[in-house]
Each structure stands twice: as C-alpha cells, then as structure tokens.
Structure 1
C-alpha cells in the first residue's frame, strides 16, 4: 500500500511540474511572477506549450533614467506559446503582454528563447532571452511605445528549483516626448516549478 501511495504521489507531482513561480531582487527592485501551464487544465492543449501568467515589478527610480524619480509599479498579464525546436535543447516561443502602470498601458508582442545546457558533470543550466515591443498602435493612454529586453541564466540546483541571474531593460516612451528608461538592472532570483 505504501509503495502504491508513493508511486501515485510521484505521478501526481509530475502532472503539475510545469507551473512556475519566481521572485527576482536586487538592492532596490522587487519582481514577482507566476506562469501556469494551460496544458494541465485543458486536454486540447499540449502540456508545456502554452502559458498564462502575471508579473509585478516594484522598480526604484535609482535604476531608471530619471534618478530619484517616484515611478509607479508595473503590473503585467501575459500569454506565451513555446515549442521545442527538434531535440537540440532549444525552445522558441512568441507571446503577448499587457503592461500597466498608473498612467501607461501597452500591449507588446514578442519572442522568447530558452536553451538548456545539459552536462553530466554539472547541474542543468538554462540560458533564456526575451524581446517584447509595442509600437504606437499597441500603446494606450499616455504611452507612445514600449520595449523590453531580458537575458537570464538559470542554474537548476535542485530538481524544479532554479537560481536565476538576469538582466532586464524596460523602456517606456510617452506621447509628450517624455521618453525614459523605466528600469535597467541586473537581478538575482529563485524560480520554482510545481
């Protein structure tokens, strides 16, 4: 009976091993996010290919172009579709986000890539990159355009638990020619898959 219960527990845990939660910090900024694998909720969607998520970034003005600025927190809802490219360890995806601050809204479209560096001598490593852009037509309220670039390196120190070292650059341009870098900073974080 105990053996059957253990097998059932492992199967149940692996069925939900694709959702992620993460927290990224540096000396001034806090970022938290979550993504849910829609393939776990919908039988018509292949698991580990479509994700719905949210993110909150409480950025500090010291990592902005306008020093000592009182910038608003950024809230995001996102949809991402990713697929393995052959059996190379590379995944490529495309997505859409909805970015909100107190007086800024943008709907950027983008691409994301992830490469898994597998080695028998080391723990699994992942190199991730993303670029999202919203031109004027996808920028609402006071927004004129939006550009976000990210790169990160994940070290899977325990199964389904990563330490992340990353860099982000978020540029928000406003209609009144008030263009500034919302956040440019490196960060350290944890990413958990459950």
Structure 2
C-alpha cells in the first residue's frame, strides 16, 4: 500500500491542476495530494496519515474524485464532489463512497474558503477487522497568496471505533 500511495503521489505531480497540503496536529502528520487525470473534472487523490501513538497504525487512502459539471451540479462559488476511495490501516480496509463540498467567498482581499468531506463504507464494503468505516473532514482557511493557503481543520476517522479525532492546522499549494 505504501508503494501504491507513493506512485500515486508522484503520478499526481506530473499532471496539471495539482494540489497538495500538509496537515499537522499534536499526534499526527497528514500529507494529501490530488491531480487532474482527464480533461473532465476527474482527480486522482492520495492521503497518508502518520500517527505517532503506539496503539494506532498509519492510515493510507487512494481514490478518485469527480466534481462540478461532471456530476451535474454547477453552483456559483461552490464545488460539489463525489468521492470513491480505498482506505487502509494495518488491520482494517474499506471502500468508502462520499461527498465533498468546497466553497469560497469571492471579491475580498484574501479568499476565504470552507472545504468538507464525508465518506462512509457499510459492512459489505469493509474488510479485514473492519465492520464499517466513516470519515468526516472539514477545513476553513484563507489564501494569502495566489496559489497558497493556510487552514485549520477537524478530522474524525472511524473503523468500528474511533481511530482519529483531532483538530489540526495546515498549509496547501495549488500548482
């Protein structure tokens, strides 16, 4: 899984419309990357969450995101996304589906944005020791420079029980 995530991240960096961010909390370090893979609004994405707690394993996620006109939703200043991922820890694997929303306030000195995602996998899409999976992630931030952003967020990841529930800060860059 580590090799697959590394290959995906390197592959993402080769395409246009790329985005990457770094998420830091007191016990975790997250790296997220996505890249446009077609002329339509389809993106490959990957997420790695290093957890330094002894009783927790690292978290890996790879998948696809489709947004905007591709899914038939076009709202000014808001992008709605459909998500399909493969998530994995040492003893848990799942294939969640989800929805994402990105909105921003235009025409101000610093663009203010809100980004949120929710993914869920019932028992039939959960494997190994997992009976279910859910992930909720929300970020609020500003873009102090054209392609850069600074944000705070809250993330809750659960396999059968709470795996990670934490507030974090981060930086991101569009290239």
TM-based fold match above 0.5: yes
SS at match of 1:137: helix
Deviations for 1:163-184, whole angstroms, at most 9, x for unmatched residues?
A: 12110011111xxxxxx20000
Deviations for 1:132-173, whole angstroms, at most 9, x for unmatched residues?
A: 000000001111000111111121111110112110011111
Unaligned runs of 5+ in 2: 1-14
SS at match of 2:27: coil
Match of residue 154, structure 1, among 128, 135, 141: 141
Q: What's 1:37 paired with? A: 36
What are the within-5 Å matches in structure 2 for residues 140-179 of structure 1?
140-173=127-160
Q: What's 2:8 paired with? A: none
What are the within-5 Å matches in structure 2 for residues 34-183 of structure 1?
34-39=33-38, 45-46=39-40, 49-61=41-53, 70-83=55-68, 85-86=73-74, 88-120=76-108, 122-173=109-160, 180-183=161-164
Measured in 2, the distance between the counterparts of 1:92 and 1:24 equals 22
Q: TM-score, normalised by structure 1?
A: 0.77
Aligned structure 1 segments of 4 or more residues deviating by more than 6 angstroms: none
Aligned residue-pair number = 158
Query: Which is higher, the Rg of structure 1 or of structure 2?
Result: 1
Unaligned runs of 5+ in 1: 1-14, 40-44, 62-68, 174-179
Structure 1 position 60, deviation (Å): 4.3
Tell me if 1:25 matches 2:12: no
Q: What's 1:193 paired with? A: 174
